[in-house]
Amino acid sequence: MIRVEGRAKVTGAARYAADAAARGHAHGALVPATIARGRVVSIDDDAALALPGVLAVLHHGNAPRLAEVAGRLGPDASTRVLQSDRVPHTGWPVALVVAETAEQARAAADALVVTYAREQHDVAFTADHPGHYTPERVFPYEPAVTVVGDVDAELAAAPVVVDETYTTPAEHHAPMEPHAATAHWRDGRLDVVDSNQGAFVIAGDLAGLFALDPAAVRVRAEHVGGGFGGKAVTGAHVLLAVLATLRLGRPVRVVLDRAQVFALTGYRPATVQRLRLGADPDGRLRAVDHDSATATSTLHEYVEGTGAGTRVLYAADALRISHRVTRLDVPTPRMMRAPGKAPGSFALESAMDELAHRCGVDPVALRLRNEPAAGPVTGWPFSSRNLAACFTEGTRRFGWDGRDPRPGVRRDGRWLVGTGTAAAVFPALSVPATAAATAEADGTVTIRVGATDLGTGARTALTLLAAEALGLPVDRVRVLIGDSDFGRAPLAGGSWGTSSWGAAVVKAATRLRETLAEPIPAGGITVVGDTAADLGAPAERHRLAFGAQFAEAAVDVATGEVRVRRLLGVFAVGRVVNPTAARGQLVGGMTMGLSQALHEEALWDRTLGTQVNADLAGYHIATNADVPVIEADWVDDPDPEMPGGIKGLGEIGIVGTAAAIANAVWHATGVRHRHLPIRPDRVLLAKPNELV
């Protein structure tokens, strides 16, 4: 089914946060810090206030105070904008200038004179940074260190050992729609139109930070132009808009510019990962040691959980998964599409490819040889595990069988050509949600659920699920989403949206169907579905989605150019509600993985303490010309333990893609690339003697 709001989007009728209608709203322009660490000594706003249209300059000296609250994801000082003179990183908002027009606000922001006391900054992440420590946990809630068996003994005894270090750079969500919010405080209520991933969750954050009754806060996010995790936290844009409307008593709109989106809305932090695999000559794993170093800000401890996939993917006699983190004077990293799993899979699945070559075992066969019967760390059973079926179908479709394993021997004109594969895994989660179903007098049904459609097709999937539960054609079902007044709902993240919101929608719709025989009064009949009691305590078992990724890459070693010629992903993702949108999500994830493999990389100037490619000309995302034919499909994967059998598929498409491409580049050239992105200069300068 094509998306229900598709026509509204392509005709421009769909309203995003920055174009939401508001009567008489003022515009706020953010003033970003130009130093990486230090204090604001003074703010001279005389010139700014004298400019036409300027209404107010908010800064730490005069802004309303925020309540001290525990962060949703642990202590989080990134929400404390305009609360102190401290500058934690370049781009941090030191003031908000509010004016009648956006242009006036921007001009006045430029005229503001901010004096800083600069302190020595440190933005340089390395694996041996002296600030590294072992955190208590990594994102989302996994232990930082896990040890099973005697890894060192198994490594020492293993006949074959792969011991390599892989790095991934900081990568940005870079959604098409910049973050924007319009906030209006009136009659004791706060009304916010925002670009976010979960209106109900953001409303809860705002109620806490502004010490308001949650019932007095309404947040709406009807259409959102991409999030990828970067709109899951309550961001500076919405906090500033609320601070300003509290001060001025009229609606205030804050729209981030692209540089501010880069600086203030999170990113995937860089990682350095050392993988040690010990194996028998036939490739059976005896030891897996996955050690990761990453960085976070001074404001919030976000730790990229790179070892998440390693915990569940392969059986081994001994496993050790460890994470270290250091705090730098940089913006706060955040969850980004397949957090931990995406960069972690690049390291693990590259190392598995290296092991396959050392052992002379086909890379697919190596993975199947190490399939675990139960969770390698926990011993828990899998609710379903169809990774092998993904590889079987993938090898057939890709034409993998009969592949010549030798690297560097296939030439097509100036191109060397190779193929690679990688496994993918992602948790299948479902969390409590509420939904309301209303039978209208005209015979239609209206569903209200606090879901968010980031462009994923969530609204359409929920429409299909509701229609099915109601036994109605889809054109008689209207699904309203993106409103915190619709009740408790999780944000769009964790690939849990369709299963979580869907379960509540199905529950409400099923109950309503039981009442539909009665005559419907003019006001309609509304029933509510709440799944809080249904999910219960999680049983001790692994609920996971799986996938097998395949790539063909062509490399011109004379110029360093790499072109991906085709990608195939075969996934086990439970029940697929809407094949059209599902394919879009999986192909989109794989495209993002291609971009991660070849292009994306935040570049920082260590001396100046700032990012130097905070724009879409310098931060390269794959263009259409980079993206070849991508095929995504799925195998039967029934899982009665997931609500509706739905596992979710918004993130798994990016997992493993970069490794499959890097493995294909190795197969093409005989040179192993362990550092992303695989740029032309790296290919050009790669030493053929890395050939093993």
Q: Using only the alpha carbons of the chain, give its radius of gyration.
A: 26
Tokens coding 324: 């270290």
Among 579, 618, 638, 640, binds another protein (CB under 8 A): 618
Q: Which residues contact 346 (CB under 8 A, 6 or more apart)?
A: 166, 168, 596, 658, 659, 662, 676
Enumerate helices (H) and strands (E) in the chain, giving the number of each.
16, 28
Q: Residue 441 in contact with residue 521, Cβ under 8 Å?
A: yes
Can you tell me which of 20, 435, 598, 665 binds another protein, judged by CB under 8 A?
Answer: 598
Name which of 46 and 103 has its Cβ closer to another protein: 103
Q: Return the number of the residue (152 or 626) whose C-beta is nearest another protein.
A: 626
**Window 347-386: contact mask with another protein (x via CB under 8 A):** ----------------------------------------
Task: Tell which one of 11, 120, 624, 689 touches another protein (CB under 8 A).
Answer: 624
Q: Is 610 in the site for another protein (CB under 8 A)?
A: yes
Order of all β-strands in the sheet with 145-148:
145-148, 318-327, 285-296, 271-279, 160-168
Whether 514 is a known active-site residue: answer no
Q: Which stretch binds another protein (CB under 8 A): 207-215, 401-409, 464-472, 620-628?
A: 620-628
| 373, burial (CB in 10 Å: exposed 0-12, middle 13-18, buried 19+) | exposed
Considering beta carbons, is residue 619 or 634 the nearer one to another protein?
619
Stretch of 103-111, 212-220, 244-252, 260-268 lying at the interface with another protein (CB under 8 A):
103-111
- Cβ neighbors of 436 (< 8 A, separation 6 or more) are 447, 448, 449, 486, 487, 508, 526, 527, 528, 529
* Binding residues with another protein: total (CB under 8 A): 35
Q: How far is the CB of 188 from another protein (least distance, A)?
A: 39
Is 53 one of the binding residues for another protein (CB under 8 A)? Answer: no
Which residue out of 154, 177, 600, 651 is catalytically annotated? 651
Sequence letter at residue 268: R
Selected binder of another protein within 39, 106, 410, 541 (CB under 8 A): 106
234 versus 260: smaller Cβ distance to another protein: 260
Asked if 113 interacts with another protein (CB under 8 A), we say no
- Alpha helices by DSSP H, 65-136: 102-111
Q: Is 438 helix (H, G, I), strand (E, B) or coil?
A: strand
Tell me the C-alpha distance between 604 and 595, whole Å. 19
- The label of the residue with tokens 């659920």 reads 449
Q: Find the part of the chain contacting another protein (CB under 8 A) among 303-311, 547-555, 573-581, 673-681.
A: 673-681
Residue 136 or 605 with smaller CB distance to another protein: 605
Nearest in space to 354 (alpha carbons), one of 283, 409, 302: 283
Q: Which residue's CB is nearer to another protein, number 123 or number 509?
A: 123
* φ/ψ (deg, to 5) at 43: -130, 115
Cβ neighbours for 378, distance < 8 A, ≥ 6 positions apart? 540, 542
15 or 414: CB nearest another protein? 414
Task: Kindly state whether residue 176 participates in binding another protein, applying the rule CB under 8 A.
Answer: no
Q: Which of 85, 561, 631, 641 binds another protein (CB under 8 A)?
A: 561
Please provide the size of the chain in residues. 692
Three-state DSSP at 146 gives: strand
Strand order in the sheet with 434-439: 477-480, 445-449, 434-439, 525-530
Task: Please identify which residue in 61, 64, 560, 645 interacts with another protein, judged by CB under 8 A.
Answer: 560
User: How far is the C-alpha of 261 from the C-alpha of 41, rounded, in Å?
Assistant: 26
Restricting to residues 31-50, name those near another protein by CB under 8 A: 34
Q: Is the distance from CB of 91 to CB of 33 less than 8 angstroms?
A: yes
Task: Determine if 620 is a binding residue for another protein (CB under 8 A).
Answer: yes
Q: Among 536, 681, 687, 689, indicate the residue that binds another protein (CB under 8 A).
A: 681
Query: Considering only residues 103, 534, 540, 636, which one is a binding residue for another protein as defined by CB under 8 A?
Result: 103
Which member of 120, 187, 558, 687 binds another protein (CB under 8 A)?
558
CA distance 458 to 624: 25
As measured in angstroms, the least distance from the Cβ of 688 to another protein is 13
Using rule CB under 8 A, residue 414 touches another protein = yes
Tell me the window of 120-128, 284-292, 374-382, 556-564 that interacts with another protein (CB under 8 A). 556-564
Interface contacts to another protein, rule CB under 8 A: 34, 103, 106-107, 110, 414, 558-561, 563, 598-599, 603-608, 610, 612-613, 617-618, 620, 622-626, 679-681, 684-685
Catalytic site positions: 651
